[in-house]
Amino acid sequence: MTTFAPIYRGRFAPSPTGPLHLGSLVAAAGSFLEARTRHGEWHLRMEDVDAPRCDAAAAGEILRTLEACGFAWDGEIVWQSRRGEAYAAALERLKAAGRVFPCACTRRELADSAIAPDGAAIYPGTCRDGLAPGRAARAWRLRVGDARVSFDDAIQGRIDSDLARDAGDFILLRADGLFAYQLAVVVDDAETCITHVVRGADLLASTSRQIFLQQCLGVPTPEYAHLPVVVNAAGEKLSKQTRAAPVDSARPGPTLFAALDFLGQRPPAGLSAAPVAELWAWAMANWRLADVPRGPAPMAESV
């Protein structure tokens, strides 16, 4: 039997480091509405690859909150913590193709590295041509060489990146033995045949790295749409670290309303206290990706 990949397969990929907040609900709602209004599938992936930062209780809470908000996903949930073999196989392919190199550098040795626009340290190339005698590999990095990556983001427009300048040779297998987020995302998006990635613009700088990695692995590049990021009054992205208020599972409607409003959809004020089913009915009939604003905007968290 021949199976055909669907025209549209989207996903939401939360990291279970804490409860869902307005910022994560924006990413969930944006990816869900775009997928469903295009008659596509919407999958869920728990990005618990960074095990020390994740906890099972947070994952369970995220699932309960998504259900309380009225999200329904297709297929089985993918748990990154169970996918080590797939990541190891991808790394082996990259080793065989000479795309990666072992790195012995410690964090302290890299402390003076140049910093990429997204805050990542740019690898100075110390181990790129081989480990110095007596040094042992701690991590594995991808060689970016003089690669340039360009793509058209459905919200942010044309993005051009010079990887040596914007990212440097980035880590795929960390010194603590864990696979890096970039590798896990690329392997998972490819194996689950994700065709469209709709997520927060805080990940925009990762996208060029991920597209380059897709090219190295010979897997397709999905379409991308990066949603504006919700920031608090101090201009910080909402997160567990900035103590973002969790979505209230007992009464998620107001936060869903705020998420739709933030996404430029202008839900009618009369729905601000409506049950989630009514909000979804309105959103499904009225969703327009073209109305989503590009930039971040401060948002009251008291919704």
Q: Which of the residues 51 through 80 are near ligand GLU (CB under 6 A)? A: none
To ligand GLU, the closest distance from the beta carbon of 302 in angstroms equals: 23
Q: Which stretch binds ligand GLU (CB under 6 A): 12-20, 55-63, 150-158, 216-224?
A: 12-20
Contact segment (CB under 6 A) with ligand GLU among 10-18, 32-40, 57-65, 108-116 equals: 10-18
212 in Cβ contact with 239 (< 8 Å)? no
From 14, 253, 267, 296, residue interacting with ligand GLU (rule: CB under 6 A): 14
For residue 129, which of 162, 148, 104 has the smallest C-alpha distance?
104
- Identify which of residues 24 and 255 has a Cβ nearer to ligand GLU in the complex: 24
Shortest spacing between CB 271 and ligand GLU, in angstroms: 27
For ligand GLU, the binding residue among 9, 36, 199, 209 (CB under 6 A) is 199
How many chain residues bind ligand GLU (CB under 6 A)?
A: 7
Q: Contact between 34 and ligand GLU (CB under 6 A)?
A: no
According to CB under 6 A, which one of 34, 47, 61, 169 is a site residue for ligand GLU?
Answer: 47
Least Å distance between CB 273 and ligand GLU? 29
Mark the segment that binds ligand GLU (CB under 6 A) among 9-17, 34-42, 100-108, 228-236. 9-17
Q: Nearest approach, Cβ of 73 to ligand GLU (angstroms)?
A: 14
Indicate the residue among 16 and 253 with the shorter CB distance to ligand GLU. 16
Q: Considering the rule CB under 6 A, would residue 83 count as an interface residue with ligand GLU?
A: no
185 near ligand GLU, judged by CB under 6 A: yes
Do residues 283 and 265 make contact, with C-beta atoms less than 8 angstroms apart?
A: yes
Residue choice 8, 10, 15, 103 for contact with ligand GLU (CB under 6 A): 15
Q: Residues in the site for ligand GLU, rule: CB under 6 A?
A: 13-15, 47, 185, 199, 203
